[in-house]
Amino acid sequence: MKQINRLSGGQIDRSQTLSFTFDGKAYCGHPGDTLASALLANNVRLMGRSFKYHRPRGPLSAGSEEPNALVELREGSRQEPNTRATTAELFDGLVARSQNRWPSLTFDVMGVNDWLSPFLAAGFYYKTFMWPKQFWERLYEPIIRRAAGLGSLSMEPDPDQYDKGFLHCDLLIIGAGPAGLAAALTAGRAGARIILADEDFQLGGRLNSETFQLDNKPGSQWVAQARAELEAMDNVRVMARTAITGTFDHGVYSALERVSDHQLAPAPGKPRQTLWRITTKRALLCAGAIERAIAFPNNDRPGIMLASALRAYANRYAVTPGRCVALFTNNDDGLRTAKDLAAKGVTIAAIVDTRRDTPALSPDPDIRAEHHFRGAEIVDTRGHLGLKSITVRTLEGELKTIACDALGVSGGWNPNVHLASHQRQRPVWRDDISAFVPGDALPAGMMAAGAAQGDFSTQACLHGGTQAARAALLELGIEAPAMPIPDQRGEGSAFGQSAVWHIENGRRRAWVDQQNDVTVKDIKLSHQEGFRAVEHLKRYTTLGMATDQGKTANVTGLAVMAELTGQTIAQTGTTMFRPPYAPTAIGAFAGRHRDENFRPVRKTPSHKWAQERGAIFVETGMWLRAQWFPRPGETHWRESVDREVLATRRSVGVCDVTTLGKIDIQGGDAAVFLNRVYCNAFAKLPVGKVRYGLMLREDGIVMDDGTTAHLTPNHYVMTTTTANAGSVFRHLEFCRQCLWPDLDVHIISTTDAWAQFAIAGPNARNLLRKIVDAQFDLSNEAFPFMACADITVCNGLRARLFRISFSGELAYELAVPTGYGDALIRELMAQGEEFDVVPYGTEALGVMRIEKGHAAGNELNGTTSALNLGMGRMVSKKKDSIGSILSEREGMNADDALSLTGFKPVDPTQTFAAGSHFIPMGGQEIAHNDQGYMTSVCHSPTLGHTIGLGLLKAGSQRMGERLLAVNPLMGQRTEVEVVSAHFVDPEGERLRG
């Protein structure tokens, strides 16, 4: 199809032609076009269907405020819904589709909603889907879900990269219109470090869309010169296609750069978008203003748009949505549009001005219109899929129908105050321009200039921009000379407007928010039903929600509500402004943190070796740990785990325990320090010994447990659980710096410095004998249970040996510098061959600790005290330690307090699950009968049946009692017997042997 609506001039590159499709049909455009401008050039005005009533819609605007022209771009995994055609830069091969219609854009079955509109007013859902209650989940929700939403997702992973970056500057200039460019030139020439950002791909803002001249040059030429000058400066970073999306504390701004959105696919190595975090000393809001519409009956037809958009399409994109255009205005902007369009050969069918006292057109010979109505209004329009005519009510009350295929509407301008209000600052109302402007309380370090401040003339923007930049830099101690303001001609008369917000005509609907299908009637209903505060109005009607956030609708909606309540607009106020200013893809927030890079992965020193052995891994925090090591022929994880447990208890097994937190503690007061952070006594731990330590929070709940070894005088090594390695370290630093600042104690995390392996089983010593250098005596007498020492292994490699046992077997933990971890595990396996050594994973580790009755994460669950875990007597009352005072509270020492005990099924063939609750035999499964709960459960290969640990009321005094372990979620009820938690070797003979 030919571009029949193309005009002369504009800032498009006619030397190149770009092909694209919309709903499968092929069209052409040029570089410099947006999808919307190219479609209009091809006489396509209909671009979408509205959200609720499925009304046919075309673009209202030529910018990011667009409520209507939302389309799906691209295909396959790059398919992107709800993209604004007015900001989508055209590229060759672009595939676009309309949304929210079936079977086609011109014939949409759901258009029936429009006929049902009397039933679908605001609050319809709240009122209708209340009853019957059980219909909600099964019937209403699925139907509403199917009907809701506009575009669709590809359901495929996004193939593109998104990036995050950090930038710093003295002055961030938000918006590169006349004010922003003047500010950037002023500050740039003064040598300040500045960032100039604009969401558009062209700098210049309205200068691209108007016809008046600066220094006898078209505005766009002046912009090009300014840009070239700025880009040549080392201290200036010009960022086009970059929307500043949020104002945060202390001069931090978020910015979304659409790096590759204007290409079919990103160039190799380039991200699709980058989310920047800009830290700046000062910021200048030069975000301009957005024109607003007037709500008149049937004001939403394709072809009806903002007057400023008509000008932008004509002057910048060389496009008109129709050859016969009418204008509806309450200010001089409408007249300016008529002049510009007439100059391009477009017929002006009528100018409908709500003001009575504007002069006739004759003084300005360039404004020609077939009709000029003053004190008139548009009361209806016609044309189902595109505008065909308007009906005007003249000052005298006469109705006149005028044929036209496009209509420009101007209801005044709203400054873009959003970024000035992101920290709860409220904009203030100015009666003279009938608009909100940023108030006196701006975010710290921010100033506003130009149209964003309510200064709408180009001269005022240029002047305001340069003055604001000077003022901002002066605060930083930089004196910047004022920029000479370019001579400006042809902008015409001052901005005179009369506030007209909406027009009534019987029962016809007048749209306020086109994106959410909110009409004047809906606002009236909201008022009638008591939802009068602006925040209520927003939620009741959905006014101002979704991708455009009501940029063209909110103020009009407020004005209508103000009229209804009899308040002023200033009293009515605005809703809260929140980031992001522009829609931001979740992918941009995620950046590179996706898939395997979602978060860092920590691998143990034996990871590579375990991988070679075919280990199955489990995530524990950031760590990947071997969970079990399947052997050929093993088909179920239990086979592998049972084998690992039995082999360890029979001979010897090895497990990588590097992930346990290790904290090196040194200093003259190290013993004092340990004695205070552990609830049990630590002051007199001799050199060469390890002790179990229980760490409490101040409220007496257990924080963590582990062992601490006294290696040499004033040098200890503490271990923590894997999960709490970070939080315990933070806690110790708190104690050291905040509670006892003069203790001579220093700590450092050495978790990553040492590879550590548990070697457990009756042959543990025999295996170690082959690894540890001969001069170290490992006999039970020389190196008994709970001994520790600095030693050497494998002919001189420094190592640490601890005789501690989590499994209940004769066991050691051997640590070597991390770099030797891989070699050590291989050596242990090689040397252990004669003992049939097995590697075991976290599952076997867990089974053996449950068999031994050791508390672990399931029991140290943030609700249990030392008493609950059977370690109440460990809490020393003779010393000051964290948690000791509040451990003594009455409620934590009740006679029937939960205590940790073992459980086994009365019938050994039966099983139960962790999380089961204990109920007395024959008792009902109600909370009143709850006696506690099962914390850890496993199959014990040693005993041949299920065993469990649990917290039972007064459990330690109930050995032999029978209870029910019930799990209503799984439908389980198992009779269990209360037994000692020490299922294996209760006397501890093995670990001392």
Partner 1 sequence: MIIEHPLLGPRDAQEFTYLGDASMIDRPDWQADDAADLFYKWLYLRDNPAGEHRELWFHEQGDRSWLVVTRNTVTHEISKVELARDVARQAGRSR
DSSP helix, strand, coil percent of the chain (3-state; round to 5): 25, 30, 45
- In DSSP terms, 279 is beta-bridged to 168, 252
| Cβ closest to partner 1, residue 471 vs residue 672 | 672
Tokens of 330: 């309450």
Shortest distance (Å) from residue 698 CB to partner 1: 5
Task: Please give the span between the terminal C-alpha atoms of the chain, in angstroms, as a whole number.
Answer: 92
The CB-of-364 to partner 1 minimum distance in angstroms stands at 50
Residues with Cβ within 8 Å of residue 449, at least 6 apart in sequence: 179, 183, 284, 285, 286, 455, 461, 464, 465, 467, 468, 469
How many helices, marked H, and strands, marked E, lie in the chain?
A: 24, 51
> Closer to partner 1 at the Cβ: 177 or 445?
445
Nearer to partner 1, 384 or 889 (CB): 889
Helix (H) or strand (E) holding 473: helix 458-475
How far apart are the C-alpha atoms of 441 and 424, rounded to whole Å?
10
Q: How many angstroms separate the CA atoms of 927 and 684, rounded?
A: 46
Q: Please list, in sequence order, all residues whose beta carbon lies within 8 angstroms of the beta carbon of residue 794, skipping any fewer than 6 positions away.
A: 771, 773, 823, 824, 827
- The residue (of 88 and 747) whose beta carbon lies closer to partner 1 is 747
How many angstroms separate the CA atoms of 601 and 834, rounded?
Answer: 35
Contacting residues for 908 by C-beta, under 8 A, at least 6 apart: 944, 945, 946
CA distances from 743 to 478, 668, 731 (A): 48, 8, 15
Q: How far apart are CA 158 and CA 260, in angstroms?
A: 14
- Residue 389: is it exposed, middle or buried by C-beta count within 10 angstroms (0-12/13-18/19+)? middle
CB of 769 to partner 1, least distance (A): 41
Residue among 164 and 400 whose Cβ is closer to partner 1: 164
**Token pair recorded at residue 36:** 């919307």
Cβ closer to partner 1: 539 or 879? 879
Q: Which residue has the tokens 């701006």?
A: 442
CA 309, CA 17: separation in Å to the nearest integer? Answer: 23
Q: Measured from the CB of residue 425, what is the shortest distance to partner 1 in angstroms?
A: 10
Between 737 and 957, name the residue whose CB sits nearer to partner 1.
Answer: 737
Q: Helix 534-541 vs helix 554-565: angle between axes, to the nearest 10 degrees?
A: 120
Q: State how far Cα 475 lies from the chain centre.
A: 34
SS (H, E, C) 507-537: CCCEEEECCCCEEHHHHHHHHHCCCCCHHHH
Q: How far is the CB of 313 from partner 1 (least distance, A)?
A: 43
Q: For residues 758 and 865, give the distance between their C-alpha atoms in angstroms, rounded to a whole number.
A: 28
Token reading at 101: 């219609």
Q: How many CB atoms lie within 10 A of CB 371?
A: 15
- Which is nearer to partner 1, 110 or 252 (by Cβ)? 252
CB 605 within 8 A of CB 591: no
* Shortest CB 710 distance to partner 1, Å: 21
CB of 605 to partner 1, least distance (A): 24
Grouping H, G, I as helix, E, B as strand and the rest as coil, residue 28 is strand
| Identity of the residue, 732 or 963, whose beta carbon is nearer to partner 1 in the bound complex | 732
Pick 649 or 731: Cβ nearer partner 1: 731
CB of 885 to partner 1, least distance (A): 5
Q: Would you say 387 and 302 are in contact if contact means Cβ atoms under 8 Å apart? A: yes
Q: How far is the CB of 728 from partner 1 (least distance, A)?
A: 13
Residues lying near partner 1 in the complex (CB under 8 A) are found at 248-252, 279, 423, 444, 669, 672, 698-699, 726, 730, 733-734, 737-743, 880, 884-886, 888-889
Residues 6+ apart with CB under 8 A from 378: 296, 297, 299, 328, 352, 390, 391, 392, 393, 407, 503
Of 498 and 727, nearer to partner 1 (C-beta) is 727
Q: Quick check: 395 and 376 in contact, CB under 8 A?
A: yes
Closer of 32 and 443 to partner 1 (Cβ) = 443
CB closer to partner 1, 193 vs 241:
193
